[in-house]
Amino acid sequence: MLHQIQSYLPDNFPWKSLVKYFDTITSTNDVLKEMARAGAPHGTVLVAGHQTGGRGRLGRSFHSPADVGIYLSVLLRPNCGAEQMMHLTCAAAVAACNALEKSSPITPQIKWTNDIVCSKRKIAGILTELGMDSPDKLNYVIIGIGINCNQKTEDFPEDIQSFAGSLSMLSGQETNRALVAANLIKAFADMDVVLLTNQPEIMQEYKAKCITLGQEVSILRGDEVNHGKALDITSDGGLIVQYEDGTVHTVSSGEVSVRGLYHYI
* Shortest CB 143 distance to ligand BTN, Å: 9
Separation between Cα atoms, residue 177 and residue 66, nearest integer Å: 12
* Shortest CB 142 distance to ligand BTN, Å: 8
Which residue, 196 or 220, is less far from ligand BTN as judged by CB? 220
Which residue, 87 or 248, is less far from ligand BTN as judged by CB? 87
* Shortest CB 48 distance to ligand BTN, Å: 7
Which residue, 31 or 203, is less far from ligand BTN as judged by CB? 31
Separation between Cα atoms, residue 215 and residue 79, nearest integer Å: 37
Which residue, 106 or 127, is less far from ligand BTN as judged by CB? 127
Sequence-ordered list of residues with C-beta below 8 angstroms from that of 151, at least 6 positions apart, any chain: 65, 68, 69, 164, 166, 168, 169
Closest alpha carbon to 113 in 236, 244, 248, 225: 236
Q: Which residues bind ligand BTN (CB under 6 A)?
A: 27-29, 51, 54-57, 60, 62, 71-73, 114, 125-127, 144-146
* Shortest CB 26 distance to ligand BTN, Å: 8
- Residue sitting closest to ligand BTN (CB): 125
* Shortest CB 134 distance to ligand BTN, Å: 26
Q: In what order do the strands lie in the sheet with 109-111?
A: 19-22, 45-48, 69-76, 137-148, 121-134, 115-118, 109-111
Cα–Cα–Cα angle for 35, 68, 125, rounded to 5 degrees: 60
Which residue, 116 or 230, is less far from ligand BTN as judged by CB? 116
Q: Contact at 8 Å (CB) between 38 and 215?
A: no
